[in-house]
């Protein structure tokens, strides 16, 4: 019995078993256009890895920017309108003098700062 325990602790040979985090046990099917498929294959080939490994690395290391919410889209649109107003005021200031548009510029700058604070929060 003591001899049997000694043989149980011995290495069996072969490579060590992979941990649960290292095993690739989930399969995912992805549909893509022909151009996207060949782009993926080309990028994977130039990196010297298989397409699956390329996608895993992209998922792990890459970044995907989330879409803007409708609220933020509205803020950006307002900011673009204010930028247009600021350009018009700059043109007016160059033509007529800076004193005439000074107050309008201060009001517009305050509104832009307010809107930027809303966007950044």
Residue 86 domain flag: yes
Residue 17 domain flag: no
Report whether pLDDT(6) > 70: no
Q: Which domain holds residue 58?
A: 26-64
Number of domains making up the chain: 2
Average pLDDT, the chain: 85
Residue 19 domain flag: no
Residue 1 domain flag: no
Other Cβ atoms less than 10 A from the Cβ of 24: the count is: 9
pLDDT value, residue 65: 74
Segment 34-77, tens digit of pLDDT = 999 999 999 999 989 999 999 989 988 887 677 888 988 999 89
pLDDT value, residue 99: 81
Residue 5 domain flag: no
Phi and psi, residue 120, nearest 5°: -75, -15
């Amino acid at each position: 019995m003591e001899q049997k325990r000694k043989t149980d602790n011995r290495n069996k040979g072969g490579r060590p078993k992979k941990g649960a985090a290292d095993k690739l046990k989930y399969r995912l099917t992805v549909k893509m256009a022909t151009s996207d498929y060949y782009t993926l294959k080309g990028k994977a080939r130039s990196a010297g890895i298989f397409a699956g490994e390329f996608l895993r690395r992209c998922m792990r290391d890459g970044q995907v920017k989330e879409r803007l919410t409708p609220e933020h889209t509205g803020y950006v649109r307002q900011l673009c309108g204010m930028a247009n107003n600021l350009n018009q005021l700059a043109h007016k200031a160059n033509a007529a003098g800076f004193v005439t548009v000074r107050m309008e510029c201060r009001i517009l700058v305050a509104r832009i700062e307010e809107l930027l604070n809303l966007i950044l929060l």
